[in-house]
Amino acid sequence: MHSYECIHDWLTPPRQIAWGDTHGLAQDAAGRIYVAHTVHPESQEPHAVVVFSPEGEFIGAWGEAFRGGAHGLDLREEDGVEYLYHCDTRRRLVVKTDLEGRVVWQTDCPMDSGKYETRDKWCPTNVAFLPDGDVLVGDGYGSSYIHRFGSDGAYKSTPIGPGKEAGQVLCPHGLWIDDRIVTRGQGPTLLVADRSNRRIQRFTLEGEHLGFVTEGIRMPCHFKTRGELLLVPDLESVVTLVGMDGQPVVHLGDGHPSGLRDKPREQFLEGKFIHPHTAIFLQNGDVLVAEWVPIGRVTLLRRVG
Q: What is the CATH number of the domain that holds 95?
A: 2.120.10.30
- Here the contacts of 109-112 (C-beta below 8 Å, separation 24 or greater) are 109/142, 110/147, 110/149, 110/155, 110/158, 112/155
E-state strands within 188-275: 189-194, 199-203, 209-213, 224-226, 229-234, 238-242, 248-252
Q: Given pLDDT bands bounded at 50, 70 and 90, which one contains residue 184?
A: low
Domain of 98, in residue numbers: 3-304
Residue 115 has pLDDT above 60, yes or no: yes
The model's pTM: 0.97
The confidence score (pLDDT) of residue 182 equals 61
Q: What is the rounded CA–CA span in Å between residue 104 and residue 80?
A: 16
Residue 65 has pLDDT above 80, yes or no: yes
- Mapping DSSP to helix (H, G, I), strand (E, B) and coil, where does residue 111 land? helix
- Is-contact 270 8, C-beta < 8 A? yes
Nearest to 196 by CA among 160, 214, 171: 171
Number of domains in the chain: 1
Residue 126 has pLDDT above 70, yes or no: yes
> Does 70 or 257 have the greater pLDDT score?
70
Contacts of 114 (CB under 8 A, 6+ apart): none
Residue 183 has pLDDT above 60, yes or no: no
Residue 281 has pLDDT above 90, yes or no: yes
- Is-contact 231 221, C-beta < 8 A? no
**Beta partners for residue 189, in sequence order:** 178
- Is-contact 34 5, C-beta < 8 A? no
Q: What is the rounded CA–CA span in Å between residue 100 and residue 97?
A: 7
Q: What is the rounded CA–CA span in Å between residue 299 and residue 110?
A: 36
Within 13 Å of residue 16, how many CA atoms lie on the same side as its CB? 8
Q: What is the rounded CA–CA span in Å between residue 57 and residue 8?
A: 15
